Structure 1
């Protein structure tokens, strides 16, 4: 027998298999870690859009977290679509109890097709309860503007840092230039950026993949910068051989064997 670093994942179920908890499981596994998946919400979703979402009972989630905590080591935590403010409160209580475990928050608010995955109460709970506990949050451009209150990337990131975020990775997958640029903002530190070539348009589940891969790197004891770089490499490989699953966005092929050094 052998062991791998373990990543606790709280995310929603995407029936198309493109985003959500399946993307997280695949990304964490591809980068050499073992996933501990806990469903936070169920969605009516395909590769084109989200048409509905229902949160899992927060008490059931609390019981699952307590059960895992009593049995297995947890080396990092990654969140995606959380379903309700009550689920956020359960997770925040768990994260405060385990403050030494790095937390990566992907603040999923809207699907690429425009469908809502978070109401105002959930967004407010994430900002107040989860963001101050996270090693890094990973909003895309649309989410960053909504969370930070400005269309200017740097201004919105600074607003979130001023409110208690340790790190904001502004992801560039929703842009339309020749390159995808991901920028890391942290208090008192210069902005760092990573660039990869853009292949075609947008892909279903790249944000989930990136955030989950970062959590895997942190679970292995790597620096945040190295974790971002390795995860971005995974995303780049996965979109270069994307799958045609449905009639909407292509799905990154995270099934390719890849354990980056």
Structure 2
């Protein structure tokens, strides 16, 4: 498969740290082909920017025209542009290219060097606000750049202000701030929150903003939506932060590695509120293993426990118009036989969604979809956190990279990855994850992973086991084949070596 093509329209750093040099290193690590459009030349080293020479607009236009005729981009990333006329060359090309095909635009508003030199004036700031940012798919300013564009305020406030200018998604980077965590505020149609990783003691951090924006553009070009692309960009950039000797007297360059994509230590957590720290990776035995049965009948759950299944989830929906009292009575009638059978067989019984009712009925394990998690208000979230502190166990669904990152912030007992194959049990917008994404989840998740979705044959359960998952879910198949066949299939797969190893995941939502 040909590598996706992205363009970087940015400045040439004569010291090799930031600008187009950093963009090339990030593109190589992300596995895309980078075309470089020089908008400005700089006289700089690792200590200071001594001069900036904007490229004449006609020369920048000629560069982009040559590229457009042979190497049209799936995404464009902008960095240092040098002036209003150079910015307008970019906007004209963005509009022309979008007439022929969808194209992402990542705007890294490089307004000031890390050494303190300013790259912009009020006219250029106005052109950013009125002309370039309204065309942006994602903007990636740091906190100081966001303040120059939209004023002081919290990162969420600044992101909202940028979105009012027309920016579709914003990631305000904060890796250069103080504190034990490196956090970035993500605001996108799919997810909002703080992307967090432990801060690295790294002197060589020149070009972090360039790497982040280029990594994000590369992920968009590979088909990921903005929220997933931000997760990948943070992983890529963090992989390049180093503490070894620098080539000059100042900070050395960020050197991202292509191996970032399978380094589990680089998966960030996504928090709704600014965290004080990160949960530790789980090292205790998995809370669920083997065949994970899902049924809508308490009596059926009891029979499954009797047949040797060690984990059963009861998934019951409240009927439209059903009163609270009637609903609770019906749920209690289904929970009781399943709960009692689980206790007799020392097995694991899980209730889907209804965590408060489950607690009241003596159930200590619940599963939540992320839409249910997000629907909780502040009081309910605090109550859920307290219940977990008192021993409530929790499983969470995940369908995308940002949902895995958000699950990591909650430190559940397991994360479900799905749908592995197409499923008819639940309408959803997600593409099938496939065995490749399941293997990536199993390798990268800080907690055990359960494969779910479309399992209709025992052979599929074997494949889930050989991806490294701790359990595989069976729903409709439970009524089509004897339980013994499912149990035998899992034991067979668990005894095999890994057959699918983690590589690049594929997008689970169309961009």
TM-score (normalizing by structure 2): 0.49
2:132 to 126, 130, 133: 130
Partner of 1:98: 97
Deviation at 1:241, TM superposition (A): 5.6
1:221 to 208, 220, 223: 223
- Residues 148 and 155, structure 1, Cα contact 8 Å, conserved in 2: no
Partner of 1:250: 252
Alpha-carbon deviations, 1:100-155, whole Å to 9, x = none?
20000100000111101222222211111110111110000110111111233222
Deviation at 1:72, TM superposition (A): 2.1
CA change 1:96–1:149 in 2 (3 A) is: same
Alpha-carbon deviations, 1:12-43, whole Å to 9, x = none?
01111110001001101111000010101011
> How do 1:74-93 and structure 2 match up within 5 A?
74-93=73-92
CA change 1:172–1:63 in 2 (3 A) is: same
Partner of 1:207: 209
Partner of 2:497: none
Q: Which has the higher contact order (CA 8 A, sep 6+)?
A: 1
Partner of 2:167: 165
Moved more, 147-156 or 240-249: 240-249
Moved more, 134-143 or 196-205: 196-205
> How do 1:54-65 and structure 2 match up within 5 A?
54-65=53-64
Give the whole-Å Cα distance in 2 for the aligned partners of 1:242 and 1:31. Answer: 23
Alpha-carbon deviations, 1:140-182, whole Å to 9, x = none?
0110111111233222222221121211111012201111111
> How do 1:1-261 and structure 2 match up within 5 A?
3-99=2-98, 100-186=102-188, 191-200=192-201, 203-240=205-242, 244-254=246-256, 256-258=257-259, 260=261, 261=504
Alpha-carbon deviations, 1:196-247, whole Å to 9, x = none?
1111266210000000000001111112122111121111111046551211
Give the whole-Å Cα distance in 1 for the aligned partners of 2:170 and 2:117. Answer: 24
Is the partner of 2:27 in helix, strand or coil? helix
CA change 1:123–1:201 in 2 (3 A) is: farther
Supply the RMSD in Å over aligned alpha carbons: 1.8
- Residues 28 and 213, structure 1, Cα contact 8 Å, conserved in 2: yes
- Residues 85 and 125, structure 1, Cα contact 8 Å, conserved in 2: yes
- Residues 242 and 252, structure 1, Cα contact 8 Å, conserved in 2: no
Give the whole-Å Cα distance in 2 for the aligned partners of 1:80 and 1:185. Answer: 20
Give the whole-Å Cα distance in 2 for the aligned partners of 1:142 and 1:13. Answer: 22
Deviation at 1:185, TM superposition (A): 1.9
Mind listing any 5+ residue stretches in structure 1 that lack a counterpart? none
Is the partner of 1:116 in helix, strand or coil? coil
Deviation at 1:250, TM superposition (A): 2.9
TM-score (normalizing by structure 1): 0.93
Structure showing greater radius of gyration is 2
| Count of residue pairs the alignment pairs up | 258
Give the whole-Å Cα distance in 2 for the aligned partners of 1:73 and 1:12. Answer: 20
CA change 1:124–1:201 in 2 (3 A) is: farther
